Structure 1
Amino acid sequence: MDKVIDIEDRIPSLKEKRRRRTNRNFLFLLVLFLLLLAVLLYFQSPLSKVREIRVEGAGLQSEEEYIRASGIRSGDALWGFSAGEVEQSVTGLEGVEQAEVIRKDFRDVVIRVDEFETVAIIQRDSGFQPVLADGSVFAQLSGAPPSAPILAEFDEAGQLRKMVKELEKLPVSITSLISELKYSGDGSITAFMTDGYEVRGVISGFAEKMEYYPSIVAQLTEEGKGVIDLEAGVFFTSYEKIYGDGEKQSDDEEGETAEGEPDEQEINIP
């Protein structure tokens, strides 16, 4: 036979459950109130304000220019701006490939900038203009030339872009040996190397052939300095055979050669 529990015996347990439920609701409301109060105090305190703005990766533009473009100032609300909108504004600057905005150390903002690589430079009367990996010429002049080949007489924008694409394909070990690239029309170029050689070729396929430059030069250790012709095959002619005195011509004398056709040495490449 089932035991019958009197309602009076149930009342204490019902009261205890109701009391515990009431306490839980009160505790929840208290925690919620304290959280809201903490959030309110946080946004009213200096802890929610931007303390410092740092720029990483600046080279073409100054750090001040990137900060100006971001629109963020010290003392602004740390959560009062959209990181995506700031990134879009910074990316709109000349020479910027992409940007990232990070809130860091609770109060600081870091703007990380990824600029297009400088693959060459153009020398002007008042300074140097970087030629970027996207084929554009950076508008601002710099007083000191970056470590990149100088492009001369590339007045045709299309040929300039083609040359930039070729340079991008080359490893730094090769581009660092190129002092200057001079355009002579019809896609032909002359590369003046830091090790004293002169390389003549065409823009199309220049990178593919120049990858063999170290092995080509290694075969010329006893030949002296001269011209390496990459236009059709690989041929070498010493300056002595071209100019008669073993020295390179000056720009005013370019095109004048000694009597007779210079002897050429064919070079084998791997």
Structure 2
Amino acid sequence: MSQKKIVSIEERIPKLKQARKKKANRRLVFYLSIFFILISIIIYLQSPLSNIRSVEVNGNSLLTEDKAIAQSGLNESTNIWTIDKSEIISALTSNPMVESAEVSRDFPWTVKIDLKEYKHIGYVKEESSYFPILGNGRVLNQSENVTFKGDAPLLLNFTEEEHLHRMTTELDKLPMNLLNLISEIHWQPTESSKNNILLYMNDGYVVSGSIRSFAEKMQLYPSIVSQLDPESEGIIHIGVGAYFEEFDTEEMEEAAAEEAE
């Protein structure tokens, strides 16, 4: 008959003490690790290590990057964790050029600003200065150092704000490929209608139309031009109906002769 080995309490006590000590040491190391991690986070949040080092601006065309950053209020002393996105967006959208804005953190030290500007649909001329005009009808007459670059139509003779706003609303509806074809738009009101406009196109044609439903009727322009002789010169009418009226050759020659004299 086998005999069971009997272990006395005196022999087990040292092993129990050693096991408890190891467990206590592990627990102490765990709590110390958590403590130092928390201290490190607090130091990081309170130190310049968490400050913004760069601000990226996307989607801007009229508004310069420097002005967008200045308006956002962000700088290198701003803590990336304490930025108020709604406050920054509110500051940016207070600019008449900006329709909407989004702000995001790109860790560890970058803030991204994505802008959506109002569509730049043309320029207006005041004395010797040119000012951009937006699709919402706002003329940026406080803009500095603006030159007419030909990247949008020049709107001339719009002396009434109501009709200028109506014209910009129509231009805002145009796709960019059509908008880029227009060089100048002249307002030519008459006693019977204040909606008359005359357009000079970049491809050499002249268009007579109306502010009323202009964007809709202008969609016909590419189709009309495609059917014309490239050498022909005249006016494309897109008012009540859509048709091409060729210039009188004799009248053109007489006018050219008078200018030469």
TM-score range (shorter-chain normalised) is 0.7 to 0.9
Q: Is the 8 A contact 1:116 1:132 kept in 2?
A: yes
Q: 1:107 aligns with which of 106, 109, 122?
A: 109
Matched AA of 1:93: N
The answer to whether 1:86 aligns with 2:94 is no
The answer to whether 1:237 aligns with 2:239 is no
Q: Structure 2: state its 5+ residue gaps.
A: 1-8
Please state whether the residue corresponding to 2:45 is helix, strand or coil. Answer: helix
Q: Is the 8 A contact 2:104 2:111 kept in 1?
A: yes
Tell me what 2:134 maps to.
132
Q: Is the 8 A contact 1:239 1:247 kept in 2?
A: no
Please state whether the residue corresponding to 1:245 is helix, strand or coil. Answer: helix
The answer to whether 1:26 aligns with 2:32 is no
Could you say if the C-alpha distance between residues 41 and 189 of structure 1 is closer, same or farther in structure 2, counting changes exceeding 3 Å? same
Please state whether the residue corresponding to 2:188 is helix, strand or coil. Answer: strand
Please state whether the residue corresponding to 2:251 is helix, strand or coil. Answer: coil
Matched AA of 2:50: S
The two structures have a TM-score, normalised by structure 2, of: 0.79
Q: What does 1:105-254 correspond to in 2, within 5 Å?
A: 105-141=107-143, 142-145=146-149, 147-185=151-189, 186-221=194-229, 224-240=232-248, 244-246=250-252
How much does 1:187 deviate? 1.0
- Aligned residue-pair number: 243
Kindly provide the CA deviation profile for residues 56-109 of structure 1, in whole angstroms up to 9, marking residues without a partner as x.
233322322222222222133222321221111111112111122222241122
The two structures have a TM-score, normalised by structure 1, of: 0.76
Tell me what 2:73 maps to.
71
In 1, distance between residues paired with 2:80 and 2:226?
A: 59
Tell me what 2:3 maps to.
none
Could you say if the C-alpha distance between residues 21 and 160 of structure 1 is closer, same or farther in structure 2, counting changes exceeding 3 Å? farther
Could you say if the C-alpha distance between residues 47 and 207 of structure 1 is closer, same or farther in structure 2, counting changes exceeding 3 Å? same
Could you say if the C-alpha distance between residues 248 and 189 of structure 1 is closer, same or farther in structure 2, counting changes exceeding 3 Å? farther
Please state whether the residue corresponding to 1:159 is helix, strand or coil. Answer: helix
How much does 1:31 deviate? 3.0
Could you say if the C-alpha distance between residues 18 and 160 of structure 1 is closer, same or farther in structure 2, counting changes exceeding 3 Å? farther
In 1, distance between residues paired with 2:255 and 2:67?
A: 45
Q: Structure 1: state its 5+ residue gaps.
A: 1-6, 254-270
Matched AA of 2:35: F
In 2, distance between residues paired with 1:21 and 1:158?
A: 82
Please state whether the residue corresponding to 2:165 is helix, strand or coil. Answer: helix
Please state whether the residue corresponding to 1:163 is helix, strand or coil. Answer: helix
In 2, distance between residues paired with 1:97 and 1:249?
A: 48
Matched AA of 2:114: R
How much does 1:144 deviate? 3.6
Tell me what 1:260 maps to.
none
In 2, distance between residues paired with 1:116 and 1:248?
A: 46
In 2, distance between residues paired with 1:189 and 1:81?
A: 49
Q: Is the 8 A contact 1:101 1:109 kept in 2?
A: yes
How much does 1:245 deviate? 3.0
Runs of 4+ in 1 over 6 A off after TM superposition: 10-21, 247-250
Q: Is the 8 A contact 1:224 1:238 kept in 2?
A: yes
Q: CA RMSD in A?
A: 3.1
Q: Is the 8 A contact 2:85 2:103 kept in 1?
A: yes
Q: 1:98 aligns with which of 92, 97, 100?
A: 100
Q: 2:53 aligns with which of 40, 51, 54?
A: 51
Tell me what 1:263 maps to.
none
Could you say if the C-alpha distance between residues 144 and 192 of structure 1 is closer, same or farther in structure 2, counting changes exceeding 3 Å? closer
Kindly provide the CA deviation profile for residues 23-63 of structure 1, in whole angstroms up to 9, marking residues without a partner as x.
66535422320221111231344321222233223332232
Tell me what 1:265 maps to.
none
